[in-house]
Structure 1
Amino acid sequence: MTDIVRTRYTEAHPGLGDGADPVTTEIIRQGLNAAADQMKQSLIRTAFSPIIYEALDFAVAFYDADLCMLAQAPTLPAFMGTLGFCVQEAVDGVGGPGAINPGDVILYNDPYGTGSHPQDAAMVVPVFVEEGEALVGYAVIKAHWLDIGGKDPYCTDTVDVHQEGTIFPGVKLYDAGRLVSDVYRMILANSRMPEMVIGDINAMVAGARTGAEALTALVRRYGIDTFRRCVARMYGHGEALVRSWFERLPDGVYTAKSVIDSDGVNGRPIPFGVKVTVSGSSVTVDLTDCPDQVGGPVNCPLPSTVAAVRIAVAFLAGAGEQPNEGHFRPLELVTRRGSLFHPVRPAPCFMYGIPSDHAIELIIRALAEAVPGSVPAASGGDINALVWWGNREATGEPWADGAPHPVGQGGSPVSDGASALMYISESATRLTPAEVWEARNPWRIERLALAEDSGGPGRHRGGLGLDLSFRVLEDQYLTSALARTALEPWGLSGGLPGRPNRLTVEYPDGREEDFSLKTRIFLPKGALVHLRTGSGGGYGPPSERDPEAVHADLREGYVTLEHAQRHYPHAF
């Protein structure tokens, strides 16, 4: 038995879309996107935690009965493609499609089916319509819970999946519309912050039900047969769009290599490579050139490896459309079971996003050779997640919060990189406003600014990273989930690298310490936490930068005079 696994995307119902009216197809496509957005807005309006309603750390999508993605609202790209695995495993967990009924809500958070840590839990609502109550598809939400009983609310040092949180391997939270109280009580018993978590769970249930109602209304409006024919044509359009992009590339094998800082436990660098094969209108991404699964939690389960490939392809070839299953039919993914990108239980995987994010950037870099002049330099390459928790000084009440933080984007053949944007895997999330942070949490924001001189020099410089300083007002704990702290974001075509990510804690006694992956850092009252997010690499030789652009950067405060004179002497 071979350990090599090929994940392909096959066409459901070939030929079904032939003859479907193109206008009706487009109306249904936009209706699906609007329904997904309605599900998203319902969740935002009712969630308890800022990580959901402010940071938008969730994804919502519809799948058809064959588990093909109908639509995903602009939410967390890192979950692109993983929700199909969630639905499959959730439904199998309760006995298969024959065991589900109208009114069911299935809870699922097994990392090997969700692709992420147990805190990213999914709610799956089956959608039935008339015609004998036929199963049409599923409305699904996956969102981050503040705590579900792991060794810590956020972990960078786990050594097996059982330390990472309570696992619900496909159980009904609602059975035919009735709450299953035993499951509900188990959730409450396994969270340090049950009131926050249950508030978010209720919001997820409401959001998924809202989505199911919107999908049902759309199907009933056009009838199940017309809906299915138009969906098949919609998938065909998405496929044709992506194939047309790859058809313009020269056939060939394109490779790139990089190094992950460490696995969070053993401290050793983790080298890996990617091989991208373009053949006609098809593309194969091979991630077998990587170590066996490692002892720390940076293993990336297959669903999130799939998501990484999908994000890279959508970034390059998706033409800005909201994706559906058809966009991914030209893709094949090759992995090796038991490896970093296809671990097997019980390998820890809490920090799965580190290799996933790294793979996205490396796939794009590999294709720079195939499409010269079309691919940007590297970004800061990480979401720079920080998670804080403790007990409030006045009341003893437990609290927690967490968020990703933006990085500079790489310079491109046509422009400077954007400054302080979320990394592509979190591009639909947003930075929580300082006013919300300070109102809810015992911090004070003492600095929040674009970091001058941080962008990689080039004809088009890299985007700037962010300098952010938190003054700690009460004793608390922090988990730092920073990656790419050693590797500088690479430039392209002669551009210079940007700065890596960095976290420094300045203690009240004057001592300073840097952290990357570190769980449960004790922060005494008065400490100052400095986050310096990475910048983008430059594109093209700095000597070719327009002198006026250099002076504009000086006027805006993006660079200092010393930096400009050192890297762009021709401008003076």
Structure 2
Amino acid sequence: MTIVRTRFAEAHPGLADDADPVTTEIIRQALNAAAEQMKQSLIRTAFSPIIYEALDFAVAFYDADMCMLAQAPTLPAFMGTLGFCVREAVEGVGGPGALSPGDVILYNDPYGTGSHPQDAAMIVPVFHRPETGDDLLVGYATIKAHWLDIGGKDPYCTDTVDVHQEGTIFPGVKLYDAGRLVSDIYRMIVANSRMPEMVIGDINAMVAGARTGGEALAAVVRRYGPDVFRRSVARMYAHGEALVRGWFERLPDGVYRADSVIDSDGVNGAPIPFGVEVTVAGSSVTVDLTGCPDQAGGPINCPLPSTVAAARIAVAFLAGAGEQPNEGHFRPLELVTRLGSLFHPVRPAPCFMYGVPSDHAIELIIRALAEAVPDVVPAASGGDINALVWWGNREATGEPWADGAPHPVGQGASRSADGASALMYISESATRFTPSEVWEARNPWRIERLALAEDSGGPGRHRGGLGLDLSFRVLEDQYLTAGLARTALEPWGLDGGLAGRPNRLTVEYPDGRTEDFSLKTRIFLPTGSVVHLRTGSGGGYGPPSERDPEAVRADVREGYISPEQARRHYPHAF
């Protein structure tokens, strides 16, 4: 049994003490603003709604040591993975010494990105050109975004049995070499996509965004000089580390555990139980996933980068104080995994639905710490992104089309408040819910219902947030892949609060048949079918008998709960 310990080492040791705090803060905010500029460039030029509407991407800067300088508010699930992307991509082309100004590297190997091949990364090395001497590598601008299709067995897969079925892999190759397009790589991308025009449009947007970010990072270094920049970055990392360590120091030392069950692996129907242990020791925290099952036969295996991301998201959620994170925030964290397991699979294990165990792990790390910090930890949420991906050929033109999106869930209640209703799960909390008008204008369906789900929130002293009821009427024959998890597990309540509702997807066919799906690839939807998505809600916090009667009556007035539900769980309000 091979145990792997992943730590985040100190960068630029000894430099932080000499940095000016005012200059450090100016540089920190300049980096955050530059990352936001890179984000907006991508949004404004992307072809696919999954990028420019749903915001299924992340943008970040890394220093020359491949430590995270800044990340714009984008997809948290990619927060822990982009550093792996940069490291593996640069190694794939021969290391830092093989890089030149104008290079753009493409990388989408799932075991380095942590996700499916459709989540591809573009990396632009950033150089500082002094008045004399050679160009100095000062960092990297990187974007990771979801492509609609890159040659998998289906545009979105829940039933793969090895990684080779999941899409074409580019294991670190130069798409641009010293500013010149590498046409062979470009043609391979085009040849391996069912929707090449959309994918190429998004690739060009990613290249433009990463170059925009690279120019902004170079401008910051040029303004302050490499030496001041390095010292300020070291102080910036030290601040992030101190912030997180200060939070964990206030917790009682101990080992905290939580357990859950995954519905299935998408191929074999059996549920998969697993647990997580979180050890707090002084100002450090260790997340241990060595007790999880061996890697699965279906595509729910979570490669190490996304396991790291899950731990990072949980730590940032609890201890990050709402700051945009940098590498320093994660120095107090150690992750322990077992090679060949669900959370550290080895090639060629399938991993297309890596987000299923990753999202479970986030929720369990937070739940494990409920014993240590009950005032902070909320009850469970719907706990999944409820991904749906649709595709087909338009009847009038025969043109291929595809679209996909995550969907909101109810959030868990806390000791101080009700849970929020219909928000993206924390792993996708910076993404957006595509407007109905965009969907109906682009895709062959009609939205027949879009509403908060009455009675869905877990009852409690504070009520869980409501899930969403959403119904699509299919206007042309098409296919759907359902990527739902947590369809059997009810979102738990805390401190006497009751559970919320799980996620559910039901297809109502034109002949009156109905069928429920969770992880299912290529569901054929004939014209006239109706797809009903019922996203999960949040669990309640505290006994329902302690809920403020006026809050109960307000919930009834607003339609959040029915009079019957109110009398069943809150009779004291009447």
Q: Name the TM-score, length of structure 1 as normaliser.
A: 1.00
- 1:244 and 1:373 map into 2 onto residues whose CA distance is 17
- 1:268 and 1:38 map into 2 onto residues whose CA distance is 46
- 2:508 and 2:270 map into 1 onto residues whose CA distance is 26
**Which residue type is aligned with residue 163 of structure 2?**
V
Could you tell me how far 1:372 is from its partner in structure 2?
1.7
CA-atom RMSD in angstroms: 0.4
**Which residue type is aligned with residue 87 of structure 2?**
Q
Picking from 252, 277, 280, the partner of 1:278 is: 280
Could you tell me how far 1:370 is from its partner in structure 2?
0.7
Q: Are 1:518 and 2:520 matched, yes or no?
A: yes
- 2:565 and 2:236 map into 1 onto residues whose CA distance is 51
DSSP-derived class of the 2:138 partner: strand
Match of 1:408 in 2: 410
Could you tell me how far 1:130 is from its partner in structure 2?
1.8
Could you tell me how far 1:545 is from its partner in structure 2?
0.1
DSSP-derived class of the 2:438 partner: helix
Could you tell me how far 1:14 is from its partner in structure 2?
1.0
- 1:125 and 1:562 map into 2 onto residues whose CA distance is 58
Map 1:527-542 → 2, pairs under 5 A: 527-542=529-544
Q: Are 1:178 and 2:180 matched, yes or no?
A: yes
Flag as ranges the 4+ runs of structure 1 deviating above 4 A.
none
- 2:451 and 2:459 map into 1 onto residues whose CA distance is 19
DSSP-derived class of the 2:18 partner: coil
Tell me if structure 1 keeps the 8 A contact 2:457–2:466: yes
Map 1:79-94 → 2, pairs under 5 A: 79-94=78-93
Picking from 191, 202, 205, the partner of 1:203 is: 205
Match of 1:559 in 2: 561
Match of 1:21 in 2: 20
Match of 1:508 in 2: 510
Q: Are 1:188 and 2:190 matched, yes or no?
A: yes
Could you tell me how far 1:373 is from its partner in structure 2?
1.9
Q: Are 1:48 and 2:50 matched, yes or no?
A: no
- 1:377 and 1:121 map into 2 onto residues whose CA distance is 34
Q: Cα deviations across residues 358-386 of structure 1 (Å, max 9, x unaligned)?
A: 00000000000011221100000000000
**Which residue type is aligned with residue 64 of structure 2?**
A
Could you tell me how far 1:17 is from its partner in structure 2?
1.1
Tell me if structure 1 keeps the 8 A contact 2:241–2:329: yes
Q: Cα deviations across residues 48-84 of structure 1 (Å, max 9, x unaligned)?
A: 0000000000000000010100001000000012000
Corresponding residue pairs, total: 571
Q: Are 1:344 and 2:346 matched, yes or no?
A: yes
Map 1:47-196 → 2, pairs under 5 A: 47-131=46-130, 132-196=134-198
Match of 1:328 in 2: 330
Could you tell me how far 1:133 is from its partner in structure 2?
0.8
Map 1:454-533 → 2, pairs under 5 A: 454-533=456-535
Q: Cα deviations across residues 450-505 of structure 1 (Å, max 9, x unaligned)?
A: 00000000000000000000000000000000000000000000000000000000
- 2:393 and 2:565 map into 1 onto residues whose CA distance is 44
Could you tell me how far 1:518 is from its partner in structure 2?
0.2
- 2:245 and 2:380 map into 1 onto residues whose CA distance is 25
Match of 1:38 in 2: 37
- 2:232 and 2:91 map into 1 onto residues whose CA distance is 28
DSSP-derived class of the 1:36 partner: helix
- 2:293 and 2:374 map into 1 onto residues whose CA distance is 30
- 2:41 and 2:220 map into 1 onto residues whose CA distance is 18
- 1:457 and 1:124 map into 2 onto residues whose CA distance is 47
**Which residue type is aligned with residue 21 of structure 2?**
P
Could you tell me how far 1:218 is from its partner in structure 2?
0.6
Q: Cα deviations across residues 122-154 of structure 1 (Å, max 9, x unaligned)?
A: 000000012321100100000000000000000
Tell me if structure 1 keeps the 8 A contact 2:15–2:231: yes
Q: Are 1:295 and 2:297 matched, yes or no?
A: yes
- 1:65 and 1:353 map into 2 onto residues whose CA distance is 29
Q: Name the TM-score, length of structure 2 as normaliser.
A: 0.99
Tell me if structure 1 keeps the 8 A contact 2:12–2:230: no
Q: Cα deviations across residues 400-419 of structure 1 (Å, max 9, x unaligned)?
A: 00000000000001000000
Match of 1:424 in 2: 426
Tell me if structure 1 keeps the 8 A contact 2:374–2:415: no
- 2:125 and 2:383 map into 1 onto residues whose CA distance is 36
- 1:543 and 1:378 map into 2 onto residues whose CA distance is 20
**Which residue type is aligned with residue 28 of structure 1?**
I
- 1:44 and 1:424 map into 2 onto residues whose CA distance is 21
- 1:130 and 1:228 map into 2 onto residues whose CA distance is 16
Match of 2:314 in 1: 312
- 1:123 and 1:559 map into 2 onto residues whose CA distance is 47
Map 1:212-251 → 2, pairs under 5 A: 212-251=214-253
DSSP-derived class of the 1:437 partner: helix
